[in-house]
Amino acid sequence: MTYFQWRTLNTFRKLLGLPPRLNFGFWQKLKTRIENGGEKMVVLAPMADVTDEAFREIIRKYSRAGELGGGPDVFWTEFVSSDGLCSVGREVLLRDLEYGEGERPIVAQLFSSNPKNMEKTARMCKELGFDGIDINMGCPDRSIIKQVAGSAMITQPKLARQIIRAAQKGAWPLPVSVKTRIGYNKVEIDNWVPNLLSCDIPVLTMHLRTRKELSKVPAHWEMANLIREEIRNKKLETMYIANGDIQTLKDAKDKNSNYDIDGVMVGRGIFGNPWFFDSNRDPESISIKEKLEVMLEHTKLFLERLGDIKNFAIMKKHYKAYVNGFDGAKDLRVKLMESHSYDEIERHVRVFLGN
């Protein structure tokens, strides 16, 4: 079936009062697992200058380790500008879309307010071999808002629909999902969610805060089930992932048990803990030495893969998380923050460990 045949089919189905056919693609396997009573999803959030190829490989190694069912159910890339990918500087941005086969299924996340660029880059990501495309409609950063992208899409419902349709056309037959927030300056679930669902998306990820709230307040888990109600009201089978304040794997599983969702997305909880998704590892059992050795491995991998295009300072946000909660952590952290090379980092760690 072509994209246009799919759109035409769903137009007629809606006229007849029937629910649309959703294009689940690789998500269908996860949907079937959940419907058959299997575990709900725990997936990795896309985070700029965090979930790059190097960190994803570290997570894959220590959380997935090639085992069936291990690690996050789905990887996301960092979000990438469709406009940038259509510019002369695309070669650098294309590096953000590099991934390893061990990360599958993997979704490329894009953002733009230009439908033509979105269609073009969604097609580009399909050709790069991604399993799905996700559109960022939740980023609260001012530089993204100025582009009328990210969470600014909440204020532009018609444009948001055009962007989704453009991605669907370009990526076909890959599934196109959306990650967003519950509102811009206030909660707008009643209007915003139906607007997105009208585009027949197979998966919706909802950060349970408004754009105005950023991450300054606790996520509104009391509203989590309201999104499911909107999906049911439309008689849709759209899968729904909730995001916000997931700090441990136990927390993720508890949220999956207690709320009417298909899964949770883990963001900041992954910092300093690439073992997050490994149910066989108790976080308390990870020694300081092991954590610091993995931090060094992460640093070396970052420099090997991305050192020519990304600032070394990006690693320092990881150091703050790796080096925390143990005797001497503060002094070591200060030294790492003042370092500018792998050799300096390794020297400070070896002195701390006494070897």
* pLDDT at 66 exceeding the cut of 90: no
Whether the domain at 3-270 and the domain at 287-353 fall into the same CATH topology: no
Model pLDDT for residues 304-355, shown as the tens digit of each residue: 999 999 999 999 999 999 999 999 999 999 999 999 999 999 999 999 998 6
Q: pLDDT category, 166, cuts 50, 70, 90? A: very high
Give the DSSP letter string of 296-355: HHHHHHHHHHHTTTS-TTHHHHHHHHHS-SSTTHHHHHHHHHT--SHHHHHHHHHHHHT-
pLDDT value at residue 88: 87
Given the residues 86, 125, 139, 199, select the one marked as catalytic: 139
Candidates 12, 43, 32, 33; CA nearest to 200 is 12
- Give the bridge partners for 41, in sequence order: 263
Report pTM: 0.94
Name the 3-class secondary structure at 241.
strand
Average pLDDT, stretch 269-281? Answer: 91
Query: What residues does 57 pair with on adjacent strands?
Result: none
Query: What is the residue extent of each domain of the chain?
Result: 3-270, 287-353
The per-residue pLDDT for 67 is: 53
Confidence of residue 69 (pLDDT cuts 50, 70, 90): low
CA distance 266 to 279: 15
Tokens of 115: 């439908």
Please, which residues have CB within 8 angstroms of residue 20's CB and are 6 or more apart in sequence? 10, 13, 14, 200, 236
- Model confidence at 271, pLDDT cuts 50, 70, 90, reads very high
Q: Which residues contact 246 (CB under 8 A, 6 or more apart)?
A: 252, 255, 264, 265, 266, 267, 269
Instruction: Provide the pLDDT for residue 281.
Output: 84
pLDDT surpasses 60 at 164: yes
Domain 3-270: state its class: alpha beta
pLDDT tens, residue by residue, 124-149: 999 999 999 999 999 999 999 999 99
For residue 17, give the 3-state DSSP assignment. Answer: coil
pLDDT tens-digit series, residues 216-248? 899 999 999 999 999 999 999 999 999 999 999
Pick the CATH number of 287-353 from 1.10.287, 1.20.81, 1.20.120, 1.10.3470: 1.20.120
199 is catalytic: no
Q: Which two tokens stand for residue 120?
A: 């073009």
> DSSP labels for 114-154?
-HHHHHHHHHHHHHTT-SEEEEEE----HHHHTTT-GGGGG
For residue 175, whether the previous peptide bond is cis, meaning omega lies within 30 degrees of 0, is no
